[in-house]
Structure 1
Amino acid sequence: MKRQTVMIVDDTPANIEILSESLGDDYELFFATSGADALELIRADKPDLILLDIMMPGMDGFELCTILKSDPATRDIPIIFVTAMIEEEQEIKGLELGAIDYLTKPISPHIVRARVKNHLELKRYRDLLETLASAADRAKKEFLRSVSHELRTPLTPIIGMTDLVLNSEEDDNKRKYLGMVQKSALRLLGIVEDLIETSRLEGEGGAPENAPFQLKPFLDTITMEARALAQAKGLQCAVLLDPALPAAVVSDQGMLHKVLSMLLGNAVKFTSEGGVGLEVRVQETAGIPMLQFSVSDTGVGIDPVDLERIFSDFTQSDGSITRSFPGLGLGLTLARRMTELMDGSIWAENAPEGGSVFQLQIPLVLP
């Protein structure tokens, strides 16, 4: 097994010698006598652990630690400060910067060996867990991809043949039962399509295809679909459009349509009386113009503890087997991922008068 590597950063040769004698038999050691030299060496060949002196000319240990922890490529390297300073404020500062431990001077070889050994073992276990988790995640995605495609293959002819028989069958009872079969098959197909889309976005990245499009015809289509869904359940559908909306915008029209369809479909699904609403306006956030969509309903609302959780994989606000609203809970996961791909944000709120409001923001980019 390859020996683990330890970088010693100290401007005092005597300290480097003591640390080397303490660790040299068990680890491969690298040395630097300044923060700048250490930074260059660490970026070229990342060690498994760093023993870092605080008091050094030029770039001190705190500054080097800050740089390393701000870089995704080096932030996971464990850092142990080696210092003669024992003030509580300095110790707190180092730990807040991301160091995992302190060694105080004069250096005790036994303590050095024990602490380095313990922290490297913890790092090895953490790396192993991350590897196993990554492998499990890849296996899950591959399984979902494979199963989803296998399920869609027989569903397509089932739906098609059922539709053909429905068009030719005259017996009302048979038509009723065939309609139930078709409805269930279509619902299952929708779940399969969600699984396939989830696998596609995770596997291929699903980069958005941004292009200019006319906003009014797009919103007219969304409005027509929302009203049709609402009317089918006897619900009202209110649409409010900001007069300041531009004529055209640049975004991924297909992806935006999918996200809004999911939000509006959920709003209708979870509303038994009252209505749903869609408001579209121009909103400035942190000085950046955004296109904001608000989808509201007068439905069951969301438990406050679930407002964030509902955007996770396979999650519904009510996860019980007997819940009133079936589904895998992938719709909002897909909505979140697509929104992030469009450089936007999505979140849920409970309306003061009851029901919920889903907010979607994407950058307002003009052609």
Structure 2
Amino acid sequence: MSLFKNRPLGRSVLSVPEICLGTMTFGEQTDEADAHAQLDYALAHGINFLDTAEMYAVPARAETCGASESIVGRWLKRQVREKIIVATKVAGPSRNLDWIRGGPLAIDRANIRAAVEGSLQRLQTDYIDLYQLHWPERNQPMFGQWQYEPDKERDCTPIRAQLEALAELVGEGKLRHVAVSNEHPWGIMEFTRLADEFGLPRIVSTQNAYSLLNRTYETALAETCHRQQVGLLAYSPLAFGHLSGKYLDNPTAAGRLTQWPNFGQRYAKPNVAPAVAAYAELARSHGLTPTQLALGFVRSRWFVASTIIGASSLAQLKETLPATLTPMHADLLAAIDAIHLRYTNPAP
């Protein structure tokens, strides 16, 4: 029997485990044998929800683009398909991913359809359970940016047109549910308003960063998503490994941030290190590891439908998956909030 509960996703009939296995290391840090071992381990513990994207592995490069989906697909082929919940994403524009459909220049009908067909082929499946727009096409602050800049406005595909393109693919049975990622309140409102007004597929979730270092979701997005019945799939709960505490004593510890120094710029801000140190000290004072504190906290939030955890190895997954079950009592949560008020969102 699984120790993990299932939670509804938006207004859909889809019920997902409170933990989701992220796969963005597959094909870069993680070879296929270890990746399949992770998938087997997760499934054996009741985690039948996995998240990938057409652009993975990361850091994104032409040589590994699509590798994560392909690795998952070869595993998925051996499973009972209807028992696995597969989420993937279409890449958006303006990220210098020239090897994906020449840019891509837009999240329009042609790009969405081409991306879906490519993902279906790599995943070796006839349908995708949850299809997400990886990031908005329009101008908005994301991936470490923290201010909206109106002078950077640009032409983009209308949200209604994006929903209409997704509706075609839902109608064809290639997509079960649709969602967004890295969204802001205005986008959530527009996607849900237009879906309701024009009878188009309603987004069921948004996949956004959420951790002890980035609680920006808790204000406007938490209210918006609650009222509009859109679930949160929380990614980076360990803040690219920072919240494991491994970089505190050894800044050159093995990990993505040391292997690719320019990766994860949102964690290069000045208050990240002191905040991490404070959370690590708090964890240890309560007999916990920093990883247990960070993952237990995210899983405990009322608005988190599922916490996405990824691992570079099976050994790492065997540490992090049980850590998500760490209970959070009132005194501990109060102490976390006290640190948060001292170092508020150091890595937005």
Shorter-chain TM band:
under 0.3
**TM-score with structure 1 length normalisation?**
0.21
Q: Which has the larger radius of gyration?
A: 1
Report the structure, 1 or 2, having the larger strand content: 1
Structure 1 or 2: more helix by fraction: 1
For CA contacts below 8 A with separation 6 or more, give which structure has more relative contact order.
2
Give the TM-score taking structure 2 as reference length.
0.22
